Chains A and B, each alone.
Chain A
C-alpha cells in the first residue's frame, strides 16, 4: 500500500512536471493558433464589412449559407480543384518518377540530388518573380526559346490569357514543390531492402512488375503523406498567385482559387466577416481532404497487409 501511494506521488509529481514543461508550448500555441482561429470563427458569425460599419451585426451561420450559393466562391472552388488535380497528382507522380530515377546508381547522382534541392531552397516570392520574368510576354525568355525552336511564331502573352496563366501557375508550383516531394520519396526508397529486388529479379519479375508490386506498395505510407501535404499546400496556395498576377488573381479571375478569394474578400473588399467564413470553410475542406486520403489509402494499406 505504501508502495502504491508512493508510486502515485511520483506519478503526480511527473504529471505536474510534464504540465509545467508543456505550459510554455501550450501558451504559445494558444496565442498563435487557438486565439486567431477562435477570432476567425467569431468573425465568421458577423456581418462585418469595414466600409459599412453601421451594418455590423451578428448573423450566425448566414455567411456559411451564403457561401453555398455564391457563384464566385463555387467557381473558385472548381478552379482550386483543377489546380489541385495537376499539382497533387502530377506533383506526386513526378516525385515518384524522379525519386526512382535518382535512386538508381549513375555517375553524377549526388550532384543531381543536390541540384534538385535548389528550387526548394528558393524563397516562394523569388520563385514567383522568376517565373513572372521568364513568362513575360514582351521580354520573357520562354518566348525567345520557343520562337528560336520554331514552336511559336509570335510572342505568347502567358500571363494575359486565363488558361495559359493557370498553366504557368501550375508549372511554377510544381517547380517549387516537386524537390521536397522527391526527397521524401528517395528517403523512403532507401528503406526498401535491396535483397527484395534481387529476390524478385531471380523470380523473374521485370522492371514494371518490381515497380508496381514492390516499390509502390512499400511507398504507400509516403505517398499518403505526400498526397496529404501536397493537397493542403495546393488548396492554400497564395504566394505564387500573388506574385505572378500582381495580387489580382487574374487574368479574368483565372487564378483566383478559394484561398485567394478569401484574401480578396477580407483585405481588398474589407468584408472581414464573409472572408473569415471562407477561411473557416477552407480549413474544413483541408481537413476533409486529409481525412479522405487517410481513409482511402489507410484502408487499402490494411487490405494489402492482410
Chain B
C-alpha cells in the first residue's frame, strides 16, 4: 500500500503560520510590564565616573551645546556621545515610545513636574537618593523632578511666571509706566485702555491643552484657589475655579482686552515674540521673556520693559511654576556618568551661563545670591518677591488627561459655548474618575 501523498495545502500553510505566529507572540510579547534588568534602587552620589552618555533635551537651553558640554567633558572625563535638542511638544511621545521599548539609547532626558510624575510613576526614571542631592540646590526647584516623595532628577533652571509690560504703551495710554497693575481690577482697566491702534492690551497662550491648563491654573491661584484639596480631590468647580474661568471669559468677551489670537498661540516662545515685537502691551510669561525682549532685533528694550508680580484677584499675587530638570532613564547603562551630568547642570558653573545667557532663574543657591545675577537679570528681584506667594504647577501622572479635558471646556467657555459654571462642573466630573483611577 503506497504511503499517502502529502501535499502542502494553503490551509495547512495558514494553520502553520498561525501556530508559529501565536508561539512567537506568546514568547516575545510581555505586555505585563518591563523587564527587571534595570536596577531599581535609588541612585547614590558617586565619586569618579567615566564612560560616555547620551542626552535628549528640549530646545530651551543652548548654553550646553555652546560650550558647557566641553566644560563638562574636561571636568569629568566623561564623553557626551550624543546631545540632541528637540521641540518640547514632540518630546513626550518620543520618551514614552523609548521607555515602553526599554530603549537605552539615551541616558539623560529633560523633564518637568508633569513628566517626572508620569514617567516616575511608570517606573521609567531612576530614583535618586536624598543623600545624593547637592547641598547647593534650591529645594523648591526639586518639585520639577519629584513625585510622591521620590526624587527622579535634578533641576536645571527655576521658572515662575511674572508680569511683563511695555512702558511705552503704558505712557501713551496715560498709565504709570513704572508701576504695573497691582490687582486684577487694575490689570483689566489697564488692558482695556491699552487695547488700541489695532493692538490688544493683553495676550496669552492658551492654544493647546498645556497652555489652556497653565492659563486657567494661574488665574485660579490668583483667585486664591487650589486645584486639589489635601486628599487630591479636584476643585475645578469650586468658587475659585468658576471665578477664574469667569475672569478669563470676561477679559476676552466682555472687556475685549485679550487678543483673540491667544486662543491659537500654542507656546510661550511665540508669546515672547508677540510682546518683544510690540504687538501687545501686557503678558504673563516665563523669565526668558526678559532676555528676548531686551535682545537685538526686539522692539522693546531693558528701558521699556516693566516687570512685576502677577496681579491677584483675591490675593495680592500667585504664580505657576515652570522649572525644568534632567532625569536618568531607568534603562541607562551609564547611570553614574549620567548622575555627573545632572550635578553639573545644577552646579554654579552651568547656572551662571543659564542665568546670564538665557534669562532663566537659577537653582543654585550660590548663584541666586550673587549680586552679578541681579545685575544680569533684573527680573530675579520679582522672582524673589514671588516666593512670598503661592506658586504651584501640580505635576501629576494624569497631567496629560487633565490638560486635554480642561482645554476642551476652557475653549468652549472662551468661545461662549458653555457658561463658566457649566464648563467647570463638566471638567470636574470628567477629572474625578481619572484621579480616582490613578490614586484609588
Whether B411 and A250, one on each chain, are in contact in the complex, defined by CB atoms closer than 8 angstroms, is: yes
Whether B96 and A251, one on each chain, are in contact in the complex, defined by CB atoms closer than 8 angstroms, is: no
Binds A, one of B27-35, B353-361, B374-382: B27-35
Whether A35 and B260, one on each chain, are in contact in the complex, defined by CB atoms closer than 8 angstroms, is: no
Whether B122 and A137, one on each chain, are in contact in the complex, defined by CB atoms closer than 8 angstroms, is: no
Interface membership of A273, Cβ < 8 A: yes
Whether B100 and A272, one on each chain, are in contact in the complex, defined by CB atoms closer than 8 angstroms, is: yes
Whether A264 and B123, one on each chain, are in contact in the complex, defined by CB atoms closer than 8 angstroms, is: no
Whether B24 and A35, one on each chain, are in contact in the complex, defined by CB atoms closer than 8 angstroms, is: yes
A225 to chain B, nearest CB (A): 27
Q: How far is the CA of A96 from the CA of B339 in the complex (A)?
A: 62
Whether A34 and B31, one on each chain, are in contact in the complex, defined by CB atoms closer than 8 angstroms, is: no
Whether B260 and A250, one on each chain, are in contact in the complex, defined by CB atoms closer than 8 angstroms, is: no
Whether B408 and A159, one on each chain, are in contact in the complex, defined by CB atoms closer than 8 angstroms, is: no
Interface membership of B129, Cβ < 8 A: no
Whether A38 and B21, one on each chain, are in contact in the complex, defined by CB atoms closer than 8 angstroms, is: yes
Interface membership of A105, Cβ < 8 A: no
Whether B31 and A273, one on each chain, are in contact in the complex, defined by CB atoms closer than 8 angstroms, is: yes
Residue from the set B97, B100, B264, B398 with the largest chain A CB neighbour count within 10 Å:
B264
A233-276 with Cβ < 8 A to chain B: 245-248, 250-253, 264, 267-270, 272-273
Q: Which residue on A lies nearest to B262, using beta carbons?
A: A160
One of B21, B33, B96, B264 near A270 (C-beta < 8 A): B96
Q: Give the size of the chain B interface in residues (CB under 8 angstroms).
A: 50
Residue from the set A57, A159, A250, A267 with the largest chain B CB neighbour count within 10 Å:
A250
With A137-B260, A160-B264 as known contacts, state yes or no: A268 contacts B25, CB within 8 Å: no
Residues of A within 8 Å of B93, CB to CB, are 247, 267-268
Q: Give the size of the chain A interface in residues (CB under 8 angstroms).
A: 41
Interface membership of A43, Cβ < 8 A: yes
Interface membership of A171, Cβ < 8 A: no
Q: How far is the CA of A118 from the CA of B122 in the complex (A)?
A: 45
Whether A157 and B92, one on each chain, are in contact in the complex, defined by CB atoms closer than 8 angstroms, is: no
Q: How far is the CA of A191 from the CA of B271 in the complex (A)?
A: 56
Q: How far is the CA of A247 from the CA of B88 in the complex (A)?
A: 12
One of A50, A53, A161 near B96 (C-beta < 8 A): A50
Interface membership of A155, Cβ < 8 A: yes
A51 to chain B, nearest CB (A): 5
Interface membership of B401, Cβ < 8 A: yes
Interface membership of A39, Cβ < 8 A: yes
Whether A137 and B261, one on each chain, are in contact in the complex, defined by CB atoms closer than 8 angstroms, is: yes
Whether B261 and A138, one on each chain, are in contact in the complex, defined by CB atoms closer than 8 angstroms, is: yes
With A137-B260, A268-B400 as known contacts, state yes or no: A252 contacts B29, CB within 8 Å: no
Whether B264 and A137, one on each chain, are in contact in the complex, defined by CB atoms closer than 8 angstroms, is: yes
Whether A252 and B32, one on each chain, are in contact in the complex, defined by CB atoms closer than 8 angstroms, is: no
Residue from the set A15, A34, A160, A267 with the largest chain B CB neighbour count within 10 Å:
A160
Binding site of B, secondary structure by majority: helix, strand, loop or mixed? helix
Whether A51 and B31, one on each chain, are in contact in the complex, defined by CB atoms closer than 8 angstroms, is: no
Residues of B within 8 Å of A162, CB to CB, are 411, 415
B59-96 with Cβ < 8 A to chain A: 89-90, 92-93, 96
A239 to chain B, nearest CB (A): 13
B382-426 with Cβ < 8 A to chain A: 397-398, 400-401, 404, 407-409, 411-412, 415, 417
B296 to chain A, nearest CB (A): 22
Binary flags per residue of A142-170, CB closer than 8 Å to B gives 1, else 0: 00000000000001010111100000000
Interface membership of A173, Cβ < 8 A: no
A42-96 with Cβ < 8 A to chain B: 42-43, 46, 48, 50-53, 56-57
Whether A248 and B404, one on each chain, are in contact in the complex, defined by CB atoms closer than 8 angstroms, is: yes
With A35-B21, A46-B32, A51-B122 as known contacts, state yes or no: A161 contacts B404, CB within 8 Å: no
Residues of B within 8 Å of A160, CB to CB, are 207, 260-261, 263-264, 411, 415
One of A246, A264, A267, A273 near B207 (C-beta < 8 A): A246
Q: How far is the CA of A193 from the CA of B86 in the complex (A)?
A: 56
One of B25, B33, B411 near A251 (C-beta < 8 A): B411
Whether B208 and A269, one on each chain, are in contact in the complex, defined by CB atoms closer than 8 angstroms, is: no
Interface membership of B105, Cβ < 8 A: no
Whether A42 and B96, one on each chain, are in contact in the complex, defined by CB atoms closer than 8 angstroms, is: no
Nearest 3 pairs between A and B by C-beta?
Answer: A160-B263, A252-B411, A160-B264
CB-defined A-B contacts under 8 Å, sample of 9: A30-B17, A30-B21, A136-B264, A155-B260, A157-B260, A160-B263, A247-B90, A268-B401, A269-B401
Further contacts, 16 of them, CB under 8 A, given A48-B31, A157-B261: A15-B8, A50-B100, A52-B121, A52-B437, A53-B122, A56-B32, A137-B263, A138-B259, A157-B264, A159-B207, A247-B90, A247-B93, A247-B208, A264-B404, A267-B97, A270-B100
